[in-house]
Amino acid sequence: AALLPLMGIIGGGVDMSRAYLAQSRLQQACDAGVLAARKSLGSKVAVDGTVPTEAAELGNRFFNLNFRDGIYGTEDREFQLILESDYSVSGEASVRVPTSIMKIFGFNEVNIDVDCNAVLSFQNLDLMMVLDTTGSMRHTNAGDSQSRIESMKQVIRDFHPELDGNKAPGIRIRYGFVPYATNINRGHL
């Protein structure tokens, strides 16, 4: 009479330990896949709302290296990459672990689902601009309507709002300016 409950305890331990091992390895593979895809994506913007093909292929390759098809006796392995609105890359992975001993008690499989996310974030940015204020900057290049120094000033005025308007919330940008006007050796330029 004690054999049946004992088989249930041992079978549950064996099957569940294999399921937990598969879940842990699946989570690691999912993490590796989204990290590789996000790293590959870099600062490129995906305009169609999907992970670009090159980044998706790299993410899938990392996932496949970390969780081979059929490892631990698993079946129906699936992995999907998703590009979120904040350009983070999310992943969803699932697998079925068929039971061996627990089939006797009507439990044929354990379904495992994991999710993961990778975000590329920059906290702060220090930007230093070295500005030529020598006498040659007062000249106007052929075909230009303003002098070199006025053109440089306009570029700086346009550059600041461009950076400030595209930074993520919570990012601090510090600007520094170093003008130079003397002791410049430009060589043969």
Measuring CA to CA, which residue among 173, 28, 18 is closest to residue 107? 18
Residue 132 and residue 185: Cα distance in Å, rounded?
12
pLDDT at 122: 66
Q: Lowest-pLDDT range, 15-19, 101-105, 136-140?
A: 101-105
**Residues 173 and 127: beta-carbon distance below 8 Å:** yes
**What are the tokens at 186?**
């430009």
Residue 77 and residue 65: Cα distance in Å, rounded?
13
pLDDT at 47: 62
Q: Lowest-pLDDT range, 42-51, 70-79, 85-94?
A: 42-51
Q: Is the pLDDT of residue 28 over 80?
A: yes
Q: Is the pLDDT of residue 5 over 70?
A: yes
Share of the chain above pLDDT 90, in %: 33
Q: Is the pLDDT of residue 102 over 80?
A: no
Those residues with Cβ within 8 angstroms of residue 53's Cβ, 6 or more apart along the chain or in another chain? none
**What are the tokens at 73?**
């006796």
pLDDT at 178: 85
pTM over 0.75: no
Q: Once rounded to an integer, what is the mean pLDDT over residues 77-105?
A: 88
What is the pLDDT of the chain when averaged over all its residues?
A: 85
Residue 56 and residue 52: Cα distance in Å, rounded?
6
